Structure 1
Amino acid sequence: MRQNPSFTLQDPAELKRLVRENPWVTLVSATPEGMVASHYPVILDEEREELTLLSHVGRPDELLHGLGEREVLVIVQGPHGYISPGWYDANPAVPTWNFVVAHLYGVPEILSPEENYRVLGRLVDAFEDALPEPRRMEGDPADAAYAQRISSGTVGFRLTPTRVVAKSKLSQNKPEAVVDTIIEQLEGDGPYAQPQLAGEMRRAHERLRAARNG
């Protein structure tokens, strides 16, 4: 991904927030047989200060990717959406696409079966916690026995990226009046409304204003 200094995302806290709020990722590997991509949910390893992902793949995807043998790319895609030039001022303009995305590179660490099982439980809890009656992986003996059985069909991994290329392209190069109009359109009811993207723009521009005001 081509980087642009105006849109570079480097804040570790913001990168972690991006992962927490967008846990469905794309896992890409360059193998001797060609490029391979899979899609899996991830969670953060909250026990580590540095950005670290925890997840698993279903067998035989660990062989398909050569997991643990070579560098992989994990793509975390945040909110994104079309930005019409009609939302700008009267000056000549072209359409664009605003987005937040992170490319995380590294060689995954393969988890032991025991640690993989614990991570699977944390993964389930991370998504079930929002429900009024969450189902736990070991909620009762039948659930626990089933979870133990199917966990053998997965391979867990931990990824602490050795290289991060992240971009937050949110109209930082536009005048504030234009930014306000774009946010208004994204929060509206038009065909390209995207309230999550509008929220990201508000956060980004509040930080820019705070930085300018010292």
Structure 2
Amino acid sequence: MIPDRAEPESRPTSRFGWVRAASDRVPTKWFAGIGTAAFLGATAAFGGLATAADAPVADLGAGEEHRNDQFAITVERAVLIDEFQGAGVYVEDGERVLALPIRVENTWNQPLAAYPDSSLTQSLEIEGLTETTPDSVARYDDATLSPSLQPGVPAQLLLAWAVEVDAFTDEQELRITLNDMTLHTGSFVVNGQWWTDPVPAATTTIELEDIGAGR
């Protein structure tokens, strides 16, 4: 008796059956990666991954406070004075002192030093001032230079610059920008924490007072 002939294996009924057969041999995680790439590409195409719009810069009135995670700062006055050695500023011929009294509170959880090139002074920018770093930072009450600001303890400070005698005038409006800083935490090579990367967050306009020899 002649044995029955084996039936030939059925071929895929779909013309794309080979795709399914091939996909069965591809690791599942590849599909996850391909899907993620496709999603990111589509999202970026529609602006979904675009950088968030910059926060609006607040316009503060004279004497209004700007508060963030590092400082609460209030610009109280802006004065021109002939000399101010008591604040640690020494002028040469053709110079005067621009002084900015401010009220500051350290809103962080650690002491912060207030010296001329510190995160505090980087938190303020005066329009028209070519040298943004002040010559000195002093306490207003006892003239302590480069004081340490304790958390939650308000202090009155004086930031002072030696400027050209004709750089600023009496009753001139000074536009001052108040910056927010970002806290960075070091790792590997650099340890510790520090505030940097100033970003404009508020502005205020103060009328400059020329007090001559001072009072």
TM-score bucket of the superposed structures, by smaller chain: under 0.3
Return the index of the structure with the highest Cα Rg.
2
Which one has the bigger helix percentage? 1
Which one has the bigger strand percentage? 2
TM-score, normalised to structure 1's length?
A: 0.27
